[in-house]
């Protein structure tokens, strides 16, 4: 049992889960900082921190999506491509993929790191009103990130509260079809393996 646990914890799927979870925790911290700034108005003294936290909400989201894709592909190859599964998910290759996901995410949100936040002094204190300049990249990233976050939130809420949303039902049906297809392929592979063993033993 100890060996099986050690093997499971050292698997690519588990390491990707930990990698993604670490950045998910950072994303929650960054999001709470940003929310607190909107409510309390930290002001110019904490502008750099707020700017970094706002950028981290974007970078960590991209890393999260990348990690989910990796975990999905990992389970797919484990079920449907067992012969090449171990070779595809070598540790060295995964380290490069983890590093690339972090670098690309930070590069994508470079302008979020560099464009300063603007505050306005009001009767209640400082109020965050936006950025110094709204470049095309900032607008595009916001236009992409917000709908994706909204869709994920709606999906999670629909699943949690069993809401019958046509879009969610379609996604679930596609997922079910994929699982059935993978299960069929896995059974076929198992039958081929059993048949091959019988031939060898004969």
Q: Per-residue pLDDT tens for 172-195? A: 666 556 555 555 555 555 555 555
Please determine, for residue 70, whether its predicted confidence score (pLDDT) is greater than 80.
yes
Q: How far apart are CA 100 and CA 70, in angstroms?
A: 13
For the segment 86-125, what is each residue's pLDDT rounded down to a tens digit?
888 888 888 999 999 999 989 888 887 888 878 887 777 7
pLDDT for the residue numbered 168? 63
Is residue 54 a contact partner of residue 117, using CB atoms and an 8 Å limit?
yes
Torsion of CA 91, 94, 99, 103, to 10 degrees: 170
pLDDT for the residue numbered 1? 43
- With pLDDT > 90 as the criterion, what percentage of the chain qualifies? 7
Comparing CA positions, the residue from 28, 40, 49 lying closest to residue 117 is 49
Most confident of 34-43, 121-130, 191-200: 34-43
* pTM of the shown model: 0.65
Q: How far apart are CA 47 and CA 124, in angstroms?
A: 18
- What residues contact residue 54 under an 8 Å CB cut-off, 6+ apart? 30, 34, 112, 117
Range in 23-32, 73-82, 117-126, 165-174 the model is least confident about: 165-174
Only one residue has tokens 């019988």, namely: 198
Mean pLDDT of 39-68: 85
pLDDT band, residue 2 (cuts 50/70/90): very low
Task: Enumerate the H helices of 81-135 as residue ranges.
Answer: 82-88, 91-108, 110-114
Task: Enumerate the H helices of the chain as residue ranges.
Answer: 2-9, 12-40, 47-80, 82-88, 91-108, 110-114, 136-161, 166-201
Q: How far apart are CA 93 and CA 52, in angstroms?
A: 29
Please determine, for residue 155, whether its predicted confidence score (pLDDT) is greater than 90.
no
Q: How many CA atoms lie within 13 A of 26 on its CB side?
A: 19
Comparing CA positions, the residue from 146, 153, 139 lying closest to residue 57 is 146
pLDDT for the residue numbered 96? 92
pLDDT for the residue numbered 120? 81
- What residues contact residue 131 under an 8 Å CB cut-off, 6+ apart? 115, 116, 117, 118, 138
């Amino acid at each position: 049992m100890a060996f099986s646990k050690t093997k499971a914890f050292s698997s690519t799927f588990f390491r990707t889960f930990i990698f993604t979870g670490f950045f998910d925790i950072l994303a929650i911290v960054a999001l709470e900082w940003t929310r607190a700034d909107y409510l309390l108005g930290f002001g110019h003294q904490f502008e750099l921190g707020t700017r970094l936290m706002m950028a981290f909400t974007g970078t960590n989201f991209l890393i999260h999506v990348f990690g989910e894709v990796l975990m999905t592909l990992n389970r797919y190859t484990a079920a449907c491509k067992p012969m090449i599964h171990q070779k595809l998910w070598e540790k060295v290759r995964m380290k490069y993929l983890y590093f690339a996901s972090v670098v690309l995410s930070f590069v994508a949100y470079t302008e979020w790191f560099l464009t300063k936040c603007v505050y306005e002094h009001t009767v209640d204190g400082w109020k965050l009103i936006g950025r110094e300049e709204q470049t095309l990249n900032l607008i595009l990233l916001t236009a992409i990130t917000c709908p994706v976050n909204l869709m994920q939130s709606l999906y999670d809420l629909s699943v949690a509260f069993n809401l019958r949303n046509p879009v969610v039902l379609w996604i679930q049906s596609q997922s079910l079809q994929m699982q059935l297809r993978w299960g069929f392929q896995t059974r076929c592979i198992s039958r081929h393996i059993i048949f091959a063993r019988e031939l060898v033993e004969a």
